[in-house]
Structure 1
C-alpha cells in the first residue's frame, strides 16, 4: 500500500448545494472580487511569504467568496482545556495568538481532515504555516505560483523511493521551529470523518520530538453541515469554484484540539484521527 495515495471514494455527486444559490449578479460580483484578490496576492511577490501578509491575503480571498470564518478555541494558547470548559469564538487578528501551533523549541505538525481546496486558504487565514502538498498543485495556474511563493513543500505521492527523504526533510523543518501543515487522509472527502489517517508524516513529528495539533475543518450553510465546498474525485477546479461562488451563507469552522506528544506514528495517527472526527460516523464505509 502506498502511504501517500488513497483511491478517491467520494465523487462530485457527493458535493451538493442544499441552500438556494445566490442571484447571477452577485455570482458575477464574487467572481470579479476573487480575480482582483488573486491578482493582488500575486503582485505581492516574495512579500506574500510574510505570515501577516499571507494571513491577510487568505482572509481577503474568503471575503471575496463571501465565506465566513469561525474559529472554535476550546483550548488555551498552550493547548490545555479552558478552565470553564466552554469553547471560545475567535476570528480576529490578535497579536500573539497562535491557534494552530504550540509554543516550544520545535515546530508543530498540524494535521487536518481534507474536504476542499478551500481547506488551505481557511487554515492560512487562521495562522500561516508551511504546507505539504502534492506536486501537481505546483503546476496549477495562479494557485501554483502562489503556493511556490509561500514556501510550500511538494511531494510526489507516487514516488515511494522519496518517502524516507520527505519524512527526513519534514523532521528537519520541525526541528528548526517551523510548523508544517499536512492532510493525512491522502485525498479529499465529502465530510469530516473521511478516510484513515496515513502514518508517514507522523514519523517526522516522532523524529523531531514535535507536537501534533489535530484540527477539524467543517463547512456549513445556514449553520447546517454542507458538502457544497467539496473538491472530489476527478472534478475540475473550475466546476468546484463555480459551486462555491454560487453557495449562499457558506461558512468554514475550524476547531483546534489539544496537542499530542509522545508515542509512535501509529498511535499518534490514530489519536489524531479520533480527535478530528469526534463521534461523527464516516460518510462511507
Structure 2
C-alpha cells in the first residue's frame, strides 16, 4: 500500500552513466564475501557496543571496513570538529540520498542513529547494522504512526543523539535530486538542536561523476550490491557543511530550504525546480569537474 504523500523519484535505468571500468568476476565475489564477513564480525562484536568508550570507534571501524570491502575510497571535505564530535550534543544530520552506500558513508564519518524506513531492517548486509545502531524506524505506509515517530525523533535529539535523516524521502541518481521535505525538520525545532547538512557525491578515480552506485527504479538491493561490487576506482565524497543553529529559521519549511541549499552549494549544483509527482525527468548531463586531489 502507498500514499500520495510518499515521495516518488523519476530516476531509473536510463539515468545510469555509461559503464565504468569493471573488476574481474572473482574480485567482485571477493568483495561481496568480504562485506559479509565484516557484517558477521560486527554482529559478533555487538556486546562491545554497550561500552561507551568502544561504541563510536568500533562502529566507525565497521562501516569503514564495509566501504573498503567494496573497494570504495572515502574522501571527506571539512567538518573536522564534527568528525571529532562532542558527546551528548544532539543534531539532526541530513544528506542527499543516492545509494544504500550513503548510510555506510555517513556512519564511517561519524557513527550515529538513523531515521530509516522499516524495510531496511530486513536488508541483507546492512539491515542488522542499522538496527543495532539504534535506528528509529518509520512505517511509510501507515500515516497514523507518523506523529509518534516524529515525537520519538525529537526525544532522541533532545536527549543528545545525532540522528541521520534523508529528507528527500527516496533515492535519486545524483545528477537529478529531490526536494527536502520539511516534516523531520520540525523534530530539530522541537528538540532545540542544530541541523548539520552533509553533501554526498560519487566519482570514479579519474574524477568523472558517476550514477552507477545509485539505488533507483525497481531493482533489488542485491542487484545494486552487484553493480557496486563490479566498479573499479569508486570514490565517495562527503562534504560536511556548516551547521544551521537552532532559531536561525522561522519554521520547518525555511529550515529545510536552508539545509537543501547548503547541500547544493557544496556540490556546486543548481537548486532543483519543483516537479510534479510521477513526471519523469531526464537529469542534466554531469558537470565537468576537476579530478579529486
Is TM (by shorter chain) over 0.5?
yes
Distance 1:63 1:121 in 2: 11
The C-alpha deviation readout for 1:141-170, integer Å capped at 9, x for no partner, is: 343222221211101112222222112111
* Equivalent residue for 2:193, pick from 199, 205, 210: 210
Residues 1:171 and 2:166 aligned together = no
Residues 1:71 and 2:76 aligned together = yes
Report the 3-state secondary structure (helix = DSSP H, G, I; strand = E; otherwise coil) of the residue aligned with 1:249: coil
TM-score (norm 1): 0.85
Query: Any conservation in 2 of the 1:114–1:192 contact (CA below 8 Å)?
Result: no
How far residue 40 of structure 1 moved from its aligned partner, in angstroms, is 1.4
How far residue 123 of structure 1 moved from its aligned partner, in angstroms, is 0.7
Q: What is the aligned partner in structure 1 of residue 259 from structure 2?
A: 272
Residues 1:182 and 2:165 aligned together = yes
Distance 2:113 2:4 in 1: 21
Distance 1:17 1:35 in 2: 28
How far residue 137 of structure 1 moved from its aligned partner, in angstroms, is 0.9
- What 5-or-longer segments of structure 2 have no aligned partner? 273-281, 285-293
Q: What is the aligned partner in structure 2 of residue 256 from structure 1?
A: 240
TM-score (norm 2): 0.83
Query: Any conservation in 2 of the 1:109–1:182 contact (CA below 8 Å)?
Result: yes
Distance 2:212 2:143 in 1: 33
Query: Any conservation in 1 of the 2:36–2:125 contact (CA below 8 Å)?
Result: no
* Equivalent residue for 2:92, pick from 101, 106, 109: 109
CA RMSD of aligned residues (A): 2.3
How far residue 104 of structure 1 moved from its aligned partner, in angstroms, is 8.6
Query: Any conservation in 2 of the 1:216–1:276 contact (CA below 8 Å)?
Result: yes
Q: What is the aligned partner in structure 2 of residue 39 from structure 1?
A: 40
Distance 1:72 1:251 in 2: 13
Query: Any conservation in 1 of the 2:199–2:238 contact (CA below 8 Å)?
Result: yes
Q: What is the aligned partner in structure 1 of residue 220 from structure 2?
A: 236
Query: Any conservation in 2 of the 1:111–1:212 contact (CA below 8 Å)?
Result: yes
Distance 2:7 2:243 in 1: 26
How far residue 7 of structure 1 moved from its aligned partner, in angstroms, is 1.4
Residues 1:141 and 2:141 aligned together = no
* Cα 1:137/1:76, change in 2 over 3 Å: closer
How far residue 51 of structure 1 moved from its aligned partner, in angstroms, is 1.6
- What 5-or-longer segments of structure 1 have no aligned partner? 79-95
* Cα 1:4/1:36, change in 2 over 3 Å: farther
Query: Any conservation in 2 of the 1:184–1:198 contact (CA below 8 Å)?
Result: yes
* Cα 1:3/1:132, change in 2 over 3 Å: farther
Matched ranges for 1:23-62 at <5 A: 23-48=24-49, 50-62=55-67
Distance 2:283 2:189 in 1: 30
Query: Any conservation in 2 of the 1:106–1:208 contact (CA below 8 Å)?
Result: no
Q: What is the aligned partner in structure 2 of residue 22 from structure 1?
A: 23
Report the 3-state secondary structure (helix = DSSP H, G, I; strand = E; otherwise coil) of the residue aligned with 1:224: coil
Distance 2:215 2:187 in 1: 28
Report the 3-state secondary structure (helix = DSSP H, G, I; strand = E; otherwise coil) of the residue aligned with 1:197: coil
Q: How many aligned positions are there?
A: 263
* Cα 1:201/1:44, change in 2 over 3 Å: same
* Cα 1:20/1:142, change in 2 over 3 Å: closer
